[in-house]
Amino acid sequence: MNKKKKSSLMLRTLKKMLGNKLAMAGLVIFIIMVLAAAAAPLITRYDPSALDLTSIAKPPGAEHWFGTDKLGRDVFTQVIYGGRVSIYVGVVGALLGAAIGMVLGCIAGFFGGKVDALIVRASELFLTFPNMILILMLASLFGQSVNNIVLIFAFTGWMTTFRMVRNEFLSLREETYVLVCRAFGIPSVSIMFRHILPNILSPIFVSLTLNVAGYILQEASLSFLGLGVPVTTPTWGNIMNAAKSLDVIANNWWLWFFPGVAISLFVMATNFLGDGLRDVLDPRQ
């Protein structure tokens, strides 16, 4: 009977997700862009760093779908390969930040008291600094590399997930099933992560998707300012950075238009997907 109930719940959840057109559109765009970035060598025959001085600043055409830049590099290839790094930075940074916030939120919300007060004060200390200023300081301090940017995003982006998880734990720790678990002597770690945490997946998923979108934009902003991923590594932000001169904006529109569209599409897709997951996973809906 239990298995039938679980199967019925999964079917209702899947049907609800399939009925959300924006969420499904976001999921399709997300999957397509991730697969395109992963399969970049199979999609394009050009090397993203190969120079072709005979094809400098060519507009979009049959040979170069998105045109070429000032060094003759294929823009379509750069956008596809750039998606690899930009998506990696956004997704991995968000996952690490969510993991840190989730663990700290579980501990603070479950135990309360001095432990809770200490972790809350630490989160407030991080929130004292404007997020972008803190990221710029850390990026200039630790240097430019893909993994450094990922770690900086995780280190500065755990507070939202932490507060969501903590608030849910503060209310759920007094529920009857938690008191019963304590009465039976079940370890605190098991109660936190096996019994309470599965009931608060909705805010975690929402926070995760919002952070992915935010980190994609922040990576682009840092690269645009010359403080993100090294310019030798193709990312959506670095492509935009190379196209920021007034001459390029006026005369070579394809150099900034296509990476801008890629960033916009991916950010919108993750936001639509996050909204859909929230509606599906929230038991109060």
Measured in whole angstroms, the distance separating CA 283 from the mean position of its chain's CA atoms is 24
Question: Is 3 a residue whose pLDDT tops 50?
Answer: yes
Q: Cβ atoms within 10 A of the Cβ of 1, count?
A: 5
Domains of the chain: 2-281 (1.10.3720.10)
DSSP secondary-structure letter at 196?
I
pLDDT-derived band at 126 (thresholds 50, 70, 90) equals confident
| Cα separation, 36 vs 31, whole angstroms | 8
Q: Which of 34-38, 112-116, 173-177 has the highest mean pLDDT?
A: 34-38
Residue 1 confidence (pLDDT): 44
pLDDT digits (tens, 9 = 90+) for 5-46: 555 656 776 777 777 788 888 889 999 999 998 888 888 888
Give the residue ranges of DSSP H helices in 129-232.
131-142, 146-156, 159-172, 176-183, 188-190, 201-224
Q: Which range is least confidently modeled, 55-59, 110-114, 270-274? A: 55-59
Tell me the whole-structure pTM to 2 decimals.
Answer: 0.83
